[in-house]
Amino acid sequence: MHRTLTAHARCLYGDEYRPTPACGLEHREHYFVEELTFADADAILAMLRELCPNIADGCLPVWVRNLAYRLALLQRPDEPDLLREAAQSLWLHGPDWDEVAAGLAERADALERSN
What is the tens place of the pLDDT at every residue in 38-62? 999 999 999 999 999 988 889 999 9
Between 55 and 83, the higher pLDDT residue: 83
- Helix, strand, coil % (nearest 5) of the chain? 65, 0, 35
* Overall domain count for the chain: 1
Report d(CA 64, CA 47) in Å as an integer.
11
Q: How far is CA 99 from CA 28, 32, 105, in A?
A: 33, 29, 10
Domain that includes residue 59, residue range: 5-114
Report d(CA 24, CA 50) in Å as an integer.
22
Element (H, E) at 20: none
pTM above 0.85, yes or no: yes
Q: What is the pLDDT of residues 16-33, one digit of tens each?
A: 888 887 888 878 899 999
* Reported confidence tier of residue 79, pLDDT bands at 50, 70, 90: very high
